[in-house]
Amino acid sequence: MGSVKVSVITVSYKAANIIEKTIQSVISQDYPYIEYIIVDGGSTDGTVDIIKKYNDRINIWVSEPDKGIYDAMNKGVKMATGDWIMFLNAGDFYHSHDVLTRFIREIDEDTTVAYGLIHYFTHKKEFDMEYIPLEQMAYLDPIPHPATMTRLSYHKAHLFDTSFRSSGDYDFFYRAFYDECVKFQYIPIIITDYDNSEGISKDNSDLIWKENKRVWSRHATFHLKMKMYGERWIALVKRPIKRLFRKHV
């Protein structure tokens, strides 16, 4: 394993109520070679004050306006100097204090993207993500971004497409898998606890659907496209039925 350096990037905006737990999760890892970078979008709610509390444990931090989450993530990629890069955004945290050590230990030398699993939690429930085969990449996203390490050299050469608002990470991994043919390696470890309570990916399924179509339509076969449209229509039919059911419960 040697002195492999991991750049961990936290992107935040108005996250005063959640960012401290994320910071503590990173700085409490027992892996010694971490470069920690925080990219804040110019918060005015006290987020910056919390970041400053940990100034001696954060390698680089900035707080300035950006053009969206993927623009902020690209800033982190450009500032990073590690061998690998991970994103742990405000509100999420590592599953255990030794998870990076265990994760890095399993990565093969020729791997470009290594990924594990995430543990979802909301205000009402929590559950572990199920493994999704990479072969399903053509019509859904099997890669949990908060539980992924990518070689920094590759990421610097392939930044996120900032025209996306929600599916930029799916687009990144999709391009890596189909266009670049890089090696992905699945490691069956729960890496990150992911707050699925709110956020753009949680609250706007129509946006996700629209952006995902942009991603998978480049390579998906006719059969897979019909499968996606079928699943979409089923979801649209189920939505009002669920609402009606809740009103009568």
| Whole-number Cα distances in Å, 235 to 57, 127, 137, 207, 227 | 45, 21, 20, 14, 12
Residue that is written with structure tokens 């890892």 in the block: 29
Give residue 182's Cα distance to chain centre.
19
Nearest CA-CA partner of 78 in 183, 180, 158, 182: 158
Rounded Cα distance between 172 and 65, Å, is: 23
Per-residue model confidence as pLDDT tens digits over 202-223: 447 788 888 888 887 766 655 5
Rounded Cα distance between 79 and 156, Å, is: 10
Give all domains of the chain, ordered by start, each with its CATH number.
6-218 (3.90.550.10)
| Whole-number Cα distances in Å, 104 to 28, 79, 129, 148, 184 | 16, 21, 20, 11, 14
Per-residue model confidence as pLDDT tens digits over 34-91: 999 999 999 999 999 999 999 999 999 999 999 999 999 999 999 999 999 999 999 9
Q: Which residues contact 220 (CB under 8 A, 6 or more apart)?
A: 138, 139, 228
Q: Is the pTM of this model over 0.75?
A: yes
Window from 68-82, 104-118, 148-162, 189-203 with minimum mean pLDDT: 189-203
Rounded Cα distance between 218 and 206, Å, is: 19
